[in-house]
Structure formats: structure tokens, C-alpha cells
């Protein structure tokens, strides 16, 4: 799967043919410089920017149904783009990122198995 600036594209590995995915639900606004990680059949995206300002939005895409859900966090990270993320079991580790004026060197962990999901900070 590839999330472009304006649309979701999917491919079948067997045929290598790309098609526009028919997505539904709470589809996120177009963004760039976000990070994505997959836990099970869910892809989580965080942050990025819309060309004007950094974002701190978090969304989950069920890759089997292509239904988006906004993930409401009680303690979201500061808006940022160009960060990295890695899935480890039911957790996603986020590191770094930037804005026009800030460079972040913090690491946060999102526990996707808790409802609502929450960030905890590395010290």
C-alpha cells in the first residue's frame, strides 16, 4: 500500500498492478512527511504536514476493509513531520521529527492494544 498526498493506492504482489483503493470512514486530510507502521492488519499514520503547518493527527487504516478511524489520544505528541516509527508487537515506537523551528530527539511509544491508545515517553 502507498498513501500518496491525495489518494490511497493498493497493489497485489502477484500481479504488481496498482489500483485506487475505495477507502471509507474518517479519511485523514491529505498530508506529506508522515510516518506509518503496521500492527497486525492495521496501518497507523502519525504527523506529517499539509504544506502549511505540521500535524499531530493519528489515524488507523484497517487494511482488509480500507476503513479509516481517527485515533483519539489523551496525550498526543507535538505536531511534527519527518519522524520515524517502528512496530514492535502491539507497540509503535516513534522517534524524532521536525517542524520549521524545532528538531525533536524524543522517543514515544504508542500502545495500540489499550483503549484508547496512549503514548508513553522514554526518559
Query: Grid coordinates in use for 62?
Result: 484497517
**Portion of the chain with pLDDT greater than 70, in percent:** 88
**For position 4, what pLDDT does the model report?**
46
Residue showing cell 503496521:
38
- Predicted TM-score of the model (pTM): 0.86
- Higher pLDDT: 3 or 6? It is 6
pLDDT beyond 50 at 120 = yes
Q: What does the pLDDT average to over 33-60?
A: 94
pLDDT beyond 70 at 39 = yes
Mean predicted lDDT score pLDDT of the chain: 88
pLDDT beyond 90 at 90 = yes
Read off the pLDDT of residues 50-81 as tens digits, 9 standing for 90 and up: 989 999 999 999 999 999 999 988 888 899 99
Kind and range of the H or E element at 44? strand 42-46
Domain ranges in the chain are 26-121
**For position 2, what pLDDT does the model report?**
47
**DSSP states along 51-98:** SSSB---EEEEETTTTEEEE---SSPPPP-BS-EEEEETTEEEEE--B
- Higher pLDDT: 120 or 99? It is 99
**For position 6, what pLDDT does the model report?**
59
Amino acid at each position: 500500500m502507498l498513501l500518496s498526498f491525495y489518494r490511497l493506492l493498493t497493489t497485489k504482489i502477484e500481479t504488481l498492478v496498482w489500483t485506487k483503493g475505495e477507502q471509507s470512514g474518517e479519511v485523514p486530510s491529505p498530508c506529506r512527511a508522515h510516518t506509518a507502521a503496521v500492527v497486525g492488519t492495521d496501518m497507523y499514520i502519525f504527523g506529517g504536514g499539509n504544506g502549511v503547518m505540521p500535524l499531530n493527527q493519528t489515524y488507523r487504516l484497517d487494511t482488509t476493509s480500507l476503513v479509516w478511524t481517527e485515533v483519539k489520544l489523551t496525550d498526543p505528541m507535538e505536531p511534527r513531520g519527518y519522524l520515524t516509527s517502528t512496530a514492535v508487537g502491539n507497540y509503535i515506537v516513534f522517534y524524532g521529527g521536525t517542524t520549521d523551528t524545532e528538531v525533536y530527539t524524543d522517543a514515544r511509544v504508542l500502545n495500540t492494544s489499550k483503549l484508547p491508545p496512549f503514548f508513553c515517553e522514554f526518559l
